[in-house]
Chain A
Amino acid sequence: MTTARATVLGRIRDALALAPAPDTAVPRAYRTGRTLPDDARLALFTDRLVDYKATVHTCTADRTAQVVAEVLRERGARRIGVPAGLDPRWLDAYDGEVQQDSGDIPAPRLDALDGVLTASAVSCAETGTIFLDGSPDQGRRALSLVPDLHVCVVDLSTVEAGVPEAVARLVPQRPTTLISGPSATSDIELERVEGVHGPRTLAVVIRTDV
């Protein structure tokens, strides 16, 4: 008996034989390899994030712990989760309970956390998108998904101007999540509602000197 695989591949080859199409080169005349000065990237990225109703906090690297603690306090987050590879110094000023994530914790249990603090891999200024790639300072995907508050630290040096520049920095095999503002829906009369299943609050801490 012919397998479905052989049948489908055979049909495709038949189709291409019946209706051959000319080969086409892909014109890539769109913008790539763009660079913007630090202040322009910061301004553009901030503008986009605010448009998505994310909150933006800007600081230098030496003030990371203070700003993180302030953001968590403002949001009333008393118990947070962090990935195992997060820089522990970022939590120096935080007086709440910290749960370091591990594979032993069933993902649904993350629902008991008030929030999560992670780093990030890459960002895109033009679209206000943060890319997480599961590196040790970002953790497994469930960690940045289940808690209702996500505080994400972004270094300005990882913020690229446009989508092509950001995609070029990704490692394809890593589980990658693109985040552009908090969870949202426009399913009811196309009226945008922030906060459905993902974190309802996204707070971004941009470190301008790293």
Chain B
Amino acid sequence: MSDNNITNILVVGIGGQGVMTATEILAEAAIALGHDAKKTEVAGMAQRGGVVSSHLRFGPKVLSPQIMAGTADLLVGFESAETLRWCHYLKPGGLVLMNTARLVPPVVDLGLYDYPDDPLAEIKERGYQVHAFDAMAIALELGDVRLGNTVMLGAMADHLPFPPGVLLEAILKRFSARKPHMVEINRQAFEAGRAADKAAQHKEVEPA
């Protein structure tokens, strides 16, 4: 949390991964606890596979909706290279939750650019704590790649200034209204995300 009691969470990925929805659910959870909140992204053409970065700020009173570089408390990366792209937005020593899955854009397939060799190592070199896991594999194991954003939300649950149950409730509320048959599988995805984060945390603290 920064000096003015505002929590800054940056969620990044690419269009179509559910980044904006995940941030919105997070915002709803913060609001349910009585916080003021603002959520912003510039995503005019994000539906077309472009970069998405979604900013969430919550606390007693939020003015500017934008998180400035070097001030995010938590960075949640839905894709490997995108996590690297935005990691300088974290405050020094800040925490990164990172999906290690790689989504290669056409410009890389066409040979115009290279995909970074090891985004995880580059982020660690910058001195951030990283909990890295393959959320896409977890989602596919549960049967649907679209569960990836609930997995990522689950991973965030133990790093928020409120209990995990509040976030889970916000997720399930959304599904019970729109897709009740998806409630149970999302509960599982959430718990799988929490477990993946815990496992990654243990890996992080183990001596190399």
A binds B: no
Interface residues in chain B, defined as those with a beta carbon under 8 Å from any beta carbon in chain A: none
